[in-house]
Each structure stands twice: as structure tokens, then as C-alpha cells.
A and B are shown apart, each in its own frame.
Chain A
Amino acid sequence: MTLKKFAVTFALGSVGLLTTGATVSTAQSHVNSPDPLLGTPSIATETSNIDGITGHAESGKHLYRRFCIGCHGPDGNGQGMNAQWIDPQPRDFTEATFKCRSTPTGTLPTDEDLYNAITRGFVTTNMPSWRPLSPQQRADLVAFIKTWSPRWAKEKPGTSLNIPPETAITIESILHGRELFQKLECWKCHGPEGHADGPSAATLTDSKGNPIKPFNFSTGDRFMCGDSNRDLYRIFMTGLDGSPMPSFADVIQPNDAWDLVHFLRTLQVALPNQELTLWQSYKAAHGKDLKPIGPDSAGGAQ
């Protein structure tokens, strides 16, 4: 065969290959646009705004197909091909209910909340940190995620929680936080020492009915919504929507909230922190004076 015949054979073969590749389609690896009758925002026009970067849903769609579709699914409902092996289940974007927000319970998160969630990822879950993507790419993904639910077309995001400056880390603050932990009955799910063994822990289910465990403070795991005290403050003030964790914004004063933050850090016995060191030396001296946390207890010093 001459070179010419080879070139022709190769050309025909390639064209055949390309045509097949180009035209055969499946739901598994192709992003399905939401039904326009639902009133979801348009992919062509939806944008996001984070720190001066504008994200575009059109670009986000291609990124979603590459990075997100395996877990979150071609319909954005958390039913990707890998979802059946994942616990906790991937986020269902069609409901617009998100755990880690700076906005009050029941309201939509801000663009920045979603951007931070993508950047930070969720430790202890299958959601990686997507920091290796550029800021522009992450902003594009935020814009695209908003096209899955009609809520984004009809509601505005909530107002970000105003977090006052952190109060001093003192034993008084930790002790007061301990009283709050008792009074607000956090121990009913999280357990008296934060081991996720409270009386209600075993029966918890998330809003889709899947069993879910409360956070276990003692394992050395970091929080899903961020590592800092400010992140911890936000967690119980805004609640983790979609999960049993409620918002305490209506029942805790801002400075009292900082006391609770300081106490919660002392439960993280496997992650060294300033509050824990302070608490351990206090307990060495005064441990026997502390009433145990649990039913019928004041939780404070006698």
C-alpha cells in the first residue's frame, strides 16, 4: 500500500472515530439543564460576584462536567454515579439548602459562602478542597450551581451574620460556655464530653431521611465549615441547614456565643488548642468541683 492509501485509510478511520465520538451521547457524562418551567436562573446570564471576580455560569457548566458530575450528578441533585458509595451524600443543589453559610437558617447562602465551601472542601467527607482550581474557575462554578434551583431566581441571599470581635479566652469564659452547653442541651446529641453519644444521637436523620451522626469533638477531626473560632461561632449560630443541627441565633447573646466557642474547643482533646491547655490546668486543680454535664445538672461549679 502506498503512503497515499494509508493516509486515506487513516483519514477515513479517524473521521469514523470522530463522528462516533461526536454524536453518541448519554446522560451519565453530560450535564442536563434544569427544566425551564421550574423557573431556574438562566445558564446564559447567571453570574456570581466574589471579591471583585465575576463568575459566569456558562463557563461553570463545562467545569461542572469535568469536576463535579461524578458525585453531584448530571441533574445537580447529588445522584452522580458515585453517590451510592458516598456517605455523607453529595449536596443536592436543586433544593438550595446548604450547611455551611454565614446567613440565617432558612435563607440562601451568599456567593462568598459557596465560594468558600468549594475552596475549603469539607473535611471528613468526599468533597475535596478545590483550591487547585483558579479563583476564576471557582467563581464560575458558584454561578453555575445557582442555576439548579428556582430559589435563586426568586429570593435574595440572607444577610451575613454579624460576628462581634472575639472575647478573651479565659477560664471564666470557658466555664460559662460549659453552663450554656448544659442549659442549651447540646449534650443530648453531642454527648456530655462531645463524643457524639448523647441520648438522641443514635436516632438522628438528615432532612432526606438518611441516618447522620452528630459531630464528635474528640476524634481530632476538624470542622467541615472551617477551622477557626469564627467558623465555629457561625456553625451553631446559623445552624447546618439540611441536618439536625439547629440555629441558636435566637437564644444566645453574641458574647455568650464566644463563651460557648471557647468551651467547645476544650472538647477537642486530640487537636491541641489554647482553650484546651487552659482547661486542662484548671481541671487538674478544680476538677472535682465540677458538676458533670447531663440530665438534671446545672453544669457549672458547685
Chain B
Amino acid sequence: MRMKFFAVLGFTVAMGSAVMVFATPPAGSGSITGKVTYTGTPMKMKPIDMSKEPSCAKQHATPISTENVATGPGNTLEWVVVYISAGDEGTVTPSQGVRYDQKGCQYLPHVLPMLAGQQLQIYNDDQTSHNIHPLAKVNQEWNKSQPPGSPPIDTKWDKPEFISVKCNIHPWMHGYFVVLKTSHYAVTGADGSFAITGLPPGKYTVTAWQEQYGTKTQDVTVGGGAATANFVFTATPY
């Protein structure tokens, strides 16, 4: 009798593990939406002087501004990455890659989230050379030159990390690769809003990351529909 019990138990556990390992994560209908805003006074963004690179300067009718604290009307924060930091049941690396552009001596998008192991392609769309220099500390740091007209750089990141990216030739260029271990993420737009979709019901921990102000975390329970999570950062002028 006991033998049979254990056999059934063992079988169930084995099947359950197989399900967990080999099945794709259940696509749910739940989602988390919200807005990211700030209180206090944020630092002012400054216009970028691109006169040292005329081929880029002429691509901008008015000079672009620095983007480390990009704000919108209603005290919203742009370029905040919101992602599930706990509660996700496994993730599969999508076969599609993500794309990073150097255009007008600016990184587009300014912040690029991706999955660990996902393919990343970096393009130089400008008439000038850039050197692409991700300052990784957990992953390997590397530095490659990319003259105009060269093919895109094909790469990927193995470990989750917030990687600052810079170009040494054009010191105003700053961007981020946000390498996550979940595919459930979103980036806020100028209106500060985000939506993470495809979540099965469950309890999740959601983290919002802003490159200047760090992270804020909340626990959210998702039923079958939309749950709300708003984040408020304390802005400082420096």
C-alpha cells in the first residue's frame, strides 16, 4: 500500500516537473497597467551641443536634450522600465531579436529592455563612426568600432544586468541595455504609462527602474483582468 502511494506521488511529481520544464508558460489574459510619476523637483535636462559632429547636428532642427530624467506633462517619467521581478513561472527566449539604433548621434531607443540570451542587433545609421561600448560589470564589457556602412553588430547578453552604454567618440551619447530574466516588461512613454500584458493569474512583484532614481517595488495580485500599479519616484534636482 505504501509502495503504491509513493509510486503515484513520484509519478505525479515527475509529470508536474515535466510540465513545468517542457511546457511554454501559460499565456494569461491578465495585465498590469499604471503610470509612473514623480514628486519634488527633477534635474533639468540640458540641450546637447553636437557642433563637434556636424553630420549629426544637422539632423536635428532643434538640439535634443539629455535624457537621464525624461519627464512629461503631469509630472510623468519617460523611459522607466517596469517588469515582473518575482512570480513569473519560467520564460522562453523569443526567437525574434531586439534592435538598437545609433541615429543622429543618439541611441534609439534610449533604454532597451530585453531578455537574457535574446539576440540584439546594433545598427549605425549615421555618416560618422561610432564605437559601441556597453559598460557591463556582470556580463563582459566590450568595445567595438562601427564605421558608417558597416553591418549591424550581432550580440546577446547572458546575465540580467542594467548595462550603461556609451560612445567614447561622442561623449553625450548615453543609453541602457536592460537585460532581464522575464519577458513581462514594458517601458513608459512620454505620458508615463505602461502596460504589461499576457499574465496568468497570480501574485507578482513588480519593479520600476529609472536610471537616475533607482528602483521601486510593489506586490500586485492579478486576477483574470487588469490590475493597476502606479509608481511614484522622489525626484531630486541633482
Contact = CB atoms under 8 A, between A and B. Distances in A.
A295 interface: yes
Contacts, number: 79
Given A200-B168, A239-B144, A250-B144, 19 more contacts: A95-B141, A105-B143, A106-B141, A106-B142, A106-B143, A184-B147, A185-B128, A188-B129, A199-B52, A203-B171, A205-B171, A239-B145, A246-B132, A247-B142, A247-B144, A247-B145, A248-B145, A251-B146, A251-B147
Nearest to A104: B142
B1 to A, nearest CB: 46
Contact of B141 (A97, A104, A200): A97
A244 B168 contact: yes
**Count class of interface residues, chain A:** 20 to 34
A207 B135 contact: yes
Given A185-B129, A207-B135, A246 B170 contact: no
Contacts of A246: 131-133, 143-145, 168
Q: Is the interface of B mostly helix, strand, loop or mixed?
A: loop
Interface of A: 95, 97, 104-107, 151, 155, 183-185, 188-189, 199-200, 203-205, 207, 239, 241-251, 295
Contacts of B87: none
B54 interface: yes
- The 8 residue pairs across chains A and B that have the minimum distance between CB atoms: A106-B142, A244-B168, A246-B131, A203-B171, A106-B140, A185-B129, A246-B143, A246-B145
Interface of B: 52-54, 128-129, 131-133, 135, 137, 140-147, 150, 153, 168-171
A200 B52 contact: yes
Q: Which of B132, B140, B145, B170 has the most CB of A within 10 A?
A: B145
A239 B133 CA distance: 11
A107 B170 CA distance: 25
Q: Which of A188, A205, A242, A245 has the most CB of B within 10 A?
A: A188
A179 to B, nearest CB: 13
B145 A251 contact: yes
B143 A247 contact: yes
B69 to A, nearest CB: 19
Q: Which of B53, B140, B146 has the most CB of A within 10 A?
A: B140
A94 B53 CA distance: 36
Contact of A295 (B54, B133, B140, B142): B54
Given A97-B141, A185-B129, A207-B141, A200 B147 contact: no
Contacts of A207: 133, 135, 141
